[in-house]
Structure 1
Amino acid sequence: MISIRRHEEGASAGRTVRFEGRDYGSQVSLFVVDADPGRGPALHVHPYAETWIVRRGDAEFTVGEEKTRGSAGDILVAPANIPHRFENVGPDRLEVICVHPSETFQQIFV
């Protein structure tokens, strides 16, 4: 068994933790996002579907031409090869788990 403690895993300046499964014998990679209001990733694509689990806060998700809001407890899925992003649109921090069904991140910013 491999156990990774949040304080041991390197978080970026934006408090986002990056877990790339290949490094731990897993076929899943993920980001644990902790973003301030107005923050979120730039528009990007993957060759696989990405699943978002909103843990706290409010976000606007853009998938292709469609926009929708998500809040704590919501699960959203962006299909493969469709440009997508999200942004914290609430007044408080946003916590989202971004699940990538791949042992490595395959992400292209557009």
Structure 2
Amino acid sequence: MKLFIVAVCLIAAASAAPSTSTATAARRALPAVQHEEVHDEFGQYALRYVTAEGTIVSERGRLVPTSNGAHVLVVEGETSFIGDDGKTYVTKYSAGLDGMRVEGAHLPVDTAA
């Protein structure tokens, strides 16, 4: 589940970014310059990594009890990157008991809800 959320956010960030130059593409091919990841025996986790071009991803998953006594893994995170236009784009997301939410100033707002 967490990998799916991270993948969706990274795809959204990549598709929202304008086309890249060769130098930017080369930097994006570099491995993460900082990576932290912590897991516990229950499947809860926290991770954060920073890439060479300034993309930052942070996420945490925590178990939350439901009304029937079971537990659900609630995922919350944030992805930010610097676009070719020099602006920083930030996307925040969460998935849990209330469904999935994604928000960012660069994303369209659904007014039907």
After TM superposition, the score normalised by the length of structure 2 is 0.29
Q: Name the structure with the higher helix share.
A: 2
**Higher RCO structure (Cα 8 Å, ≥6 apart):** 1
Larger C-alpha radius of gyration, 1 or 2?
2
